């Protein structure tokens, strides 16, 4: 599309793989793509077998061809203004099969290590996050597993315990009930929750009621009633809870960076501002609108100026009263001098 071509060949698929995938994975994916296309071109049988059978892969090229033709995200698969060669879907299907095989191999290795026989979504998530190349790829594309859980991690600042001096027990002291040190029970709860997966926190009934109210407020009254499947609520609740968990995790990192163990609302506000791309999150008012604090400061400034004028006026009035007192003192002194002169004359 960048080269302004109307036909998509396997060469464009290989170039896209080199751009998106890490270096090690890109070379292996391109080699799998090339070998699959070569096997398909060497096949000369016309017995009605499928394309994936001819090139020796499992993923169907018909599905990848459908996605390659869907160049318009609005119109979807029904609109296509680009032609696709016969080799491009085969190469893309081979590359996707290679990526899926890596994921399954890592998950099966984890299951074998734990002496289990069933692969769960938790095994897929953990094996993906432990592989640096796969983790980089999925995080860059924003792909996550629903209800896969989180990677267990507790910062070392939360694990440190202050040394406490023990007092020598006295003979009169009675045996007190056992109490854990502050933070011990919290760390235990964190470790337990980080191992859970495939579970929801919010109650389903209030969540469904909230979603239905939002949809009702966004639709017209004359429009027919919208019916929603139960699977929609489940998927939506999984994504919302995962989004909240990500915000809380980043806010916790911000609190630790500020050398605090306690999570505060300012940490959540700061992380949310960074996620929304605010240039200076410190300019946000409590309502989230820029410039309101400045207006309040301006009003306060005007009041301050008026207050200064009033203070100056008071000072002026005080000054006038002082001048009147000085004139009265001068008159008293003149009268005292006249009385003193008259007393000298009498003497």
Distance CA 229, CA 116 (A): 35
202 to 65, 157, 242, 344: CA distances (angstroms): 40, 30, 12, 106
- Please state which of the ranges 26-30, 241-245, 325-329 shows the lowest mean pLDDT: 325-329
User: Who's near 288: CB < 8 A, 6+ residues apart?
Assistant: none
- pLDDT band, very low/low/confident/very high, at 307 (cuts 50, 70, 90): very low
Instruction: DSSP for 258-295, please give it.
Output: TT-SS--HHHHHHHHHHHTT-S-GGGB-TTS-BTHHHH
- Please state which of the ranges 131-140, 219-228, 253-262, 331-340 shows the lowest mean pLDDT: 331-340
- pLDDT band, very low/low/confident/very high, at 35 (cuts 50, 70, 90): very high
pLDDT of residue 4: 67
Report CA 266 to chain centroid distance, whole Å.
15
Do residues 1 and 83 make contact, with C-beta atoms less than 8 angstroms apart? Answer: no
User: pTM for the complete prediction?
Assistant: 0.63
Name the percent of the chain lying above pLDDT 90: 18
Q: What is the mean pLDDT of residues 140-165?
A: 75
Name the percent of the chain lying above pLDDT 70: 72
Buried b / exposed e over 243-268, threshold 16 CB at 10 Å, is eeeeeeebbbebbbeeeeeeeeeebb
Q: How many Cα atoms are found within 13 Å in the side-chain-facing hemisphere of 301?
A: 6
Distance CA 28, CA 31 (A): 5
The yes or no reply on domain 7-141 and CATH 3.40.605.10 is no
- Please state which of the ranges 195-204, 225-234, 262-271, 324-333 shows the lowest mean pLDDT: 324-333
pLDDT of residue 347: 40
SS (H, E, C) 66-102: HHHHCCCCCCHHHCCCCEECCHHHHHHHHHHHHHHHH
The larger pLDDT score, comparing residue 176 to residue 326, is at 176
- Please state which of the ranges 115-124, 304-313, 334-343 shows the lowest mean pLDDT: 304-313
- pLDDT band, very low/low/confident/very high, at 38 (cuts 50, 70, 90): very high
Q: At what angle do helices 87-113 and 121-130 cross, to 10 degrees?
A: 100
Do residues 278 and 237 make contact, with C-beta atoms less than 8 angstroms apart? Answer: no
DSSP state of 145: -
Q: How many Cα atoms are found within 13 Å in the side-chain-facing hemisphere of 333?
A: 6
Does 28 score more than 60 pLDDT?
Answer: yes
Do residues 51 and 61 make contact, with C-beta atoms less than 8 angstroms apart? Answer: yes
The larger pLDDT score, comparing residue 281 to residue 322, is at 281
User: Who's near 10: CB < 8 A, 6+ residues apart?
Assistant: 33, 37, 85, 87, 88, 90, 91
Bridge pairing between strands 7-8 and 83-84: parallel
- pLDDT band, very low/low/confident/very high, at 308 (cuts 50, 70, 90): very low
Distance CA 281, CA 293 (A): 13
Length of the chain equals 347
- Convert the pLDDT of each residue in 47-81 to its tens digit: 778 888 888 899 999 888 888 887 655 555 555 66
The larger pLDDT score, comparing residue 170 to residue 11, is at 11
What average pLDDT does the structure give for the chain?
76
The larger pLDDT score, comparing residue 28 to residue 199, is at 28
Do residues 107 and 119 make contact, with C-beta atoms less than 8 angstroms apart? Answer: yes
């Amino acid at each position: 599309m960048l080269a302004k071509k109307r036909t998509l060949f396997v060469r464009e698929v290989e170039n896209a793989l080199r751009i998106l995938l890490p270096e090690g994975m890109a070379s292996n994916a391109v080699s799998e793509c090339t070998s699959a296309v070569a096997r398909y071109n060497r096949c000369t049988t016309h017995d009605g077998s499928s394309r994936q059978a001819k090139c020796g892969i499992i993923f169907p090229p018909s599905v990848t061809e459908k996605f390659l033709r869907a160049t318009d995200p609005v119109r979807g698969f029904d609109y296509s203004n680009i032609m696709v060669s016969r080799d491009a879907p085969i190469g893309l299907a081979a590359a996707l099969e290679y990526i899926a095989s890596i994921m399954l191999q890592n998950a099966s290795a984890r299951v074998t290590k734990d002496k289990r026989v069933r692969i769960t979504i938790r095994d897929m998530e953990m094996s993906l996050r432990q592989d640096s190349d796969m983790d980089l790829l999925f995080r860059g594309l924003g792909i996550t597993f629903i209800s896969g859980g989180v990677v267990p991690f507790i910062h070392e600042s939360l694990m440190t315990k202050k040394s406490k001096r023990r007092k020598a027990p006295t003979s009169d002291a009675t045996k007190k009930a056992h109490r854990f040190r502050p933070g011990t029970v919290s760390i235990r709860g964190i470790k337990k929750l980080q191992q859970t997966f495939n579970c929801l926190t919010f109650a389903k009934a209030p969540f469904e009621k909230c979603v239905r109210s939002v949809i009702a407020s966004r639709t017209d009254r004359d429009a027919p009633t919208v019916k929603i499947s139960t699977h929609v609520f489940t998927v939506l609740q999984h994504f919302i809870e995962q989004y909240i968990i990500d915000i809380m995790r980043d806010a916790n990192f911000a609190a630790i960076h500020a050398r605090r163990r306690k999570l505060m609302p300012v940490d959540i506000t700061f992380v949310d501002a960074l996620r929304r791309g605010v240039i200076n999150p410190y300019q946000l008012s409590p309502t989230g609108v820029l410039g309101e604090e400045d207006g309040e400061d301006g009003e306060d400034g005007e009041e301050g100026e008026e207050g200064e004028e009033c203070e100056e006026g008071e000072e002026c009035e005080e000054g006038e009263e002082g001048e009147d007192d000085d004139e009265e003192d001068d008159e008293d002194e003149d009268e005292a001098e006249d009385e003193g002169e008259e007393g000298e004359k009498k003497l």
